[in-house]
Amino acid sequence: MPAQNRFSPTLADVRETDKPEPASVDSSTVSLMPPIDLAAVRPRFPALAGPQAYLDGPGGSQVPDVVGRAMTGYLYGHNANLGGVFPTSRSSEDLMVGARRAAADLVGGSPEEIAFGPNMSTLNFMLAHAVARTLEPGDEIVTTVLDHDANISPWLRIADDHGLFVRTVPVTDPDLTIDLAALEASLSRRTRIVAFTLASNAVGTVTAARRIADLAHDAGALAWADAVHFAPHRRIDVRKLGVDVLLCSPYKFFGPHMGIAWACRQLLASWPADRVRPADEIPPGHRFELGTQSHEAIAGFVAAVDYLASLGSGLDRATRLDSAFARIQMHEEDLARRFLIGLEDVPGVHLHGIADPERVGERTPTFCVTLDAHDPRAVAERLAERDINVWDGNYYAPDLMTHLGLEGHGGAVRIGFLHYTSPDEVDRVLTALRSVTGRLGAR
């Protein structure tokens, strides 16, 4: 019999009141979908008109024109705080209501389960501190080596503050996937949170989210998911994933800098929230939103979701997002195969993570590479000279870099593709890597 969870309400109560899982996109329909039309997509992104190849998407994507227009349109025509009786205040309230609907369509939850904030890290720290007040000394939290530190440090902080224990699950080599056997062995009757990523921002691994969530629930714990890197690449559906909390960042999926948190409504209602006394906890407000939000950023977020939906087809936004992400995944898998096959001809390169071109469905098109005797920062600088933007360092995944033996040694080079990336840009970075390996100095 599964362990009883001490949270109020119980996880069984929460799951019992969940909506039915929405239907997935039929595989035969996906195979008939037209591919992403880059000739139509790329002109919608003003930054792509220049010479630069933006392969830095894992750190932040470019934005389509509609996002910029929505943000300036709000500031010039609707700018006001909430709660007034005058037109701009009422239109700002309408914006917030519509934004919660857009976020619910994006992640598969309900509008009242959505909270906005400045970024994922801030929201995660805030929610972690709220949950900590419901825990007891000796309770346990499980994290993984694969995670971004934004889903590790909050748990280390509250563990110090509340006498909790944090267990860290390793990854398997060489694919760098979460070790599910080790995860299962780490769970106990005192486990309260299992915090994990849906996809690694460092090496691109897509995790077995439903399996992890089920293991957490069987132990009586909450499944707490970081969807920041996953969100621009795959369709999110919190019901199918089986998670209890999910966080993401619109600036990674073609929107402005801000954060979004989803959690099932019963849990949100049960956790103590830090709030000023006059704040209204009834929608369209939210008890985990502190102070005035960036309304212009939220307007841009809605535009970003509508942009994504425009890549698909269907009668409603959620259905259009289903087909849009199916098309996005097909395009990105083609790019990933092209890159992995081409990388075999780059001398002295080492790819960290899933390298088999036939397994691109198990990863995002984000690649972590090192080159023999070459400093990652120097490689990134040489690529920048060729108008190719990539990241170097640890990408806020220090535990994974320590596992790889790269922390403290410059980390690695990270190359990331998005749906607006062209095959020519994949070839450009491969050619550039071949070129620079012969002229860079050793570490």
For all residues of the chain together, what is the average pLDDT? 91
Write down the pLDDT at residue 125: 96
pLDDT range class, residue 315, cuts 50, 70, 90: very high
pLDDT over 90 at 98, yes or no = yes
Cα separation, 435 vs 437, whole angstroms: 6
User: Comparing 5-9, 284-288, 296-300, 382-386, which segment has the lowest mean pLDDT?
Assistant: 5-9
Per the model's pLDDT, the better-predicted residue between 323 and 7 turns out to be 323
pLDDT over 60 at 85, yes or no = yes
Phi/psi class of residue 193: alpha, beta or left (left: φ > 0; alpha: ψ in -120 to 50)?
Answer: beta
pLDDT over 70 at 9, yes or no = no
Q: Among positive and negative, which fits the CA dihedral 27, 33, 35, 38?
A: negative
Write down the pLDDT at residue 357: 97
Cα separation, 265 vs 16, whole angstroms: 13
- Average pLDDT value for residue range 46-60: 97
pLDDT over 50 at 20, yes or no = no
Per the model's pLDDT, the better-predicted residue between 18 and 380 turns out to be 380
Write down the pLDDT at residue 191: 98
- Average pLDDT value for residue range 321-337: 98
pLDDT over 90 at 324, yes or no = yes
pLDDT range class, residue 285, cuts 50, 70, 90: low
- Average pLDDT value for residue range 7-17: 35
- Average pLDDT value for residue range 300-307: 98
pLDDT range class, residue 279, cuts 50, 70, 90: confident
- pTM for the predicted model, two decimal places: 0.92
Write down the pLDDT at residue 282: 62
pLDDT range class, residue 72, cuts 50, 70, 90: very high
Could you report the per-residue pLDDT of 169-220, keeping only the tens digit for each? 999 999 999 999 999 999 999 999 999 999 999 999 999 999 999 999 999 9
Per the model's pLDDT, the better-predicted residue between 30 and 399 turns out to be 399
Task: Give me the DSSP letters along 88-151.
Answer: HHHHHHHHHHHHHHHHHHHHTS-GGGEEEES-HHHHHHHHHHHHHTT--TT-EEEEETTS-GGG
pLDDT range class, residue 70, cuts 50, 70, 90: very high
Write down the pLDDT at residue 393: 97
The type of residue at 113 is E
pLDDT over 90 at 291, yes or no = no
pLDDT range class, residue 1, cuts 50, 70, 90: very low
- Average pLDDT value for residue range 20-37: 56
Cα separation, 350 vs 102, whole angstroms: 40
Could you report the per-residue pLDDT of 414-423, keeping only the tens digit for each? 999 999 999 9
Q: Strand 412-416 and strand 140-144: pairing? A: unpaired
Task: Give me the DSSP letters along 353-414.
Answer: S---GGGGGGB-SEEEEEETTB-HHHHHHHHHHTTEE-EEE-TT-HHHHHHTT-TTTTBEEE
pLDDT over 80 at 403, yes or no = yes
pLDDT over 50 at 372, yes or no = yes
Could you report the per-residue pLDDT of 226-246, keeping only the tens digit for each? 999 999 999 999 999 999 999
pLDDT over 60 at 10, yes or no = no
Q: pLDDT exceeding 70 applies to what percent of the chain?
A: 90
